[in-house]
A = this chain, B = another copy of it.
Amino acid sequence: MSERKRIVILGGGFGGVYTAIHLEKLLGRRDDFEIHLINHENYFVFQPMLAEVISGSIGIMDAVTPMAKLLKRTKLHIRDVEEVDLKNKVVVTSPGFVPKPHRVPYDHLVLALGKVTHFKGMPGLPEHAIPFKNLGDALYIRNHAIHAIEEADIETDPQLRKELLTFVIAGGGFSGVEAAADLNDFLKDIALRHYEAVGPEDVHVILLHSQDRILPEVEEKLGLFAAKILEERGVQIRFKTRLAAATKTEAILSTGERIATRTLISTVPASPNPIIEKIELPKDRGHVKANLELQVEGSDHIWSLGDCAVVPHPSGKGFCPPTAQFGMRQAAVAAHNIVASIRGGTRKQFAFKGLGSMCSLGHQSGVADVMGFHISGILAWLMWRVIYLSKLPGFDRKVKVTIAWLLDFFFPPDLVQLKLFPMGAVVQEHYEVGQEIFHKGDLGDRIYIIVSGKAQVSVEDGAGSEKLIATLTPGEYFGEMALLNQTTRGATVRCVESMDVLALRKQEFGALAANLPDLKASFEKKMQQRLQGTASGK
């Protein structure tokens, strides 16, 4: 019993889950090792089908499979990884129902933490861009888009209406292109069917891509074909354009152009999971360096694979691309070699060189670049459906997706908007010069604290022209008067130097101010000063 080894896998994507599946097979009837897997979610996301969740052509649950169904002999820890202690061979996870640390010791460690979309250092993106990476993102995008159309249907201000009906997607790789195609089809379809004041021609989906053609993963001809198909359906593509910054109401492009929008989705840039950054192991531009045996350089019990690792390409040129087909096949080799290092035996080398790529463009069209063949149109779309259906893990999922695809032929798309994401009590917002944070007469629903940048407060004087009454700098707050005294804003606040703010909701601000006497006194003092300032005309 004391000889039993413990293998701990971090990450539940293609790399992690398939490593566990292969380890379970190799375990067979023996009992000489145990398998643990730590992941934030209790399900495995089949990334290629995620875009179809946006349009609802498959059910919310159909693109994911519960890990407990796939892994019968693996102990699952549905937690976040907080720390990896290489010296003591222990993984520490986030707390569960009680605030106690949970420690999982290991003999062998498999790092398969994948990538995350990260907007760090890009002004306004962490606050205002929606990533498209996991199931929650897909649902959020769907619900947000439906909400925007519903609001546009009752909105009378033409500028706001246009913002609500403009949808910007950054990144022309597979996931950006599939999201743009799906969102465009879905929104134009429901606009046609269900909204009196919104038609398909009012919906604008804009795709931004940094290079001069989309889908760099496939052959040039196919990328051009895909762009043509998207443009025929009304998607606007901006080539050689990156997203530079964002505010609540705008996407600001590298070209200087500003697109007024309330929906900004970004599939780029991606970088390895932040946990990888904290682990001291040999790395190449942030990715863990693993060899063709999937072992981390210089270690005999740490393994890494999938998108968080750099693994040499078996052809000898470059590295394996961050795709599902490579992750799944690396997993088989890693599992074999881990068992070989426990039981003894020869090791395998990773030898897979790739099969090709496919991208669905919706409406029975797609592109595929498979084993040297370049295919486009309905044949590529059919290949996409057949091949991915066969790869989707779990027999029940295969049946459910098949049924969903059949029903999708007969029934119009669904448009239930699940309001599952309550507005945060404390959120960060980014403003650019000239933007209004709020206008005189607006409802007072939040108080703002300036983190960086500058704002000006102005009121209208008797003659209808604006009068500046204050300039606010970091550490100062505004908007408290409407919360404490009245329901609408008495002044207009405008950003005069690129600004980050913390916005605190009325309800929570009230609760804090009521219960923290020092905070309340400080606010009341400030308010008194401001009221006197306004009254005396200063």
Contact = CB atoms under 8 A, between A and B. Distances in A.
A407 interface: yes
A517 B196 contact: no
A340 interface: no
A418 B136 contact: yes
Q: Binding site of A, secondary structure by majority: helix, strand, loop or mixed? A: mixed
Interface in A48-81: 56, 59-61, 64-66, 68-69, 75-78
Interface string A499-527: 00010100010011001111100100000
A416 B66 contact: yes
Nearest to A98: B160
Nearest to A505: B426
B438 A99 contact: yes
A443 interface: yes
A158 B95 CA distance: 17
A69 B450 CA distance: 44
Interface size class of A (residues with CB under 8 A): 35 or more
Contacts of A478: none
A416 B61 contact: yes
Contacts of A135: 418
What's the number of copies of this chain in the assembled complex?
Answer: 2
A511 B502 CA distance: 8
Nearest to A509: B426
Nearest to A101: B443
Interface stretch (A112-120, A148-156, A280-288): A148-156
Interface stretch (A229-237, A305-313, A320-328, A396-404): A396-404
A68 B516 contact: no
A518 B520 CA distance: 10
Interface string A402-420: 0100010011101111111
Contact of A516 (B151, B424, B443, B449): B449
A343 interface: no
B519 A519 contact: yes
A477 interface: yes
B61 A414 contact: yes
A262 interface: yes
B416 A147 contact: no
Given A475-B515, A475-B517, A150 B76 contact: yes
A216 interface: no
Interface in A374-433: 396, 399-400, 403, 407, 410-412, 414-422, 424-426, 428
A474 interface: yes
Contacts of A77: 154
Nearest to A501: B515
A9 to B, nearest CB: 15
A430 B78 CA distance: 27
Contact of A515 (B42, B190, B442, B449): B449
Contacts of A449: 512, 515-516
Contact of A396 (B43, B411, B419): B411
Contacts of A475: 515-517
A504 B412 CA distance: 44
Interface string A204-223: 00000000000000000000
A415 B66 contact: yes
A64 to B, nearest CB: 6
A124 interface: no
Contact of A43 (B42, B65, B417): B417
A35 to B, nearest CB: 12
A120 to B, nearest CB: 15
Nearest to A38: B154
B421 A424 contact: no
A442 B194 CA distance: 53
Contacts of A428: 511
B508 A425 contact: yes
Contacts of A511: 426, 428, 451, 502
Interface string A94-111: 011111111000000000
15 contacts: A42-B150, A69-B412, A78-B147, A95-B443, A96-B155, A97-B151, A97-B262, A136-B419, A139-B420, A421-B422, A425-B425, A475-B515, A475-B517, A502-B512, A519-B522
Given A449-B512, A477-B516, 11 more contacts: A68-B415, A69-B415, A75-B153, A78-B147, A78-B151, A97-B160, A102-B154, A396-B411, A400-B407, A420-B420, A451-B515
**Across the A-B interface, the 6 shortest Cβ-Cβ residue pairs:** A518-B522, A68-B194, A420-B420, A396-B411, A425-B425, A99-B443
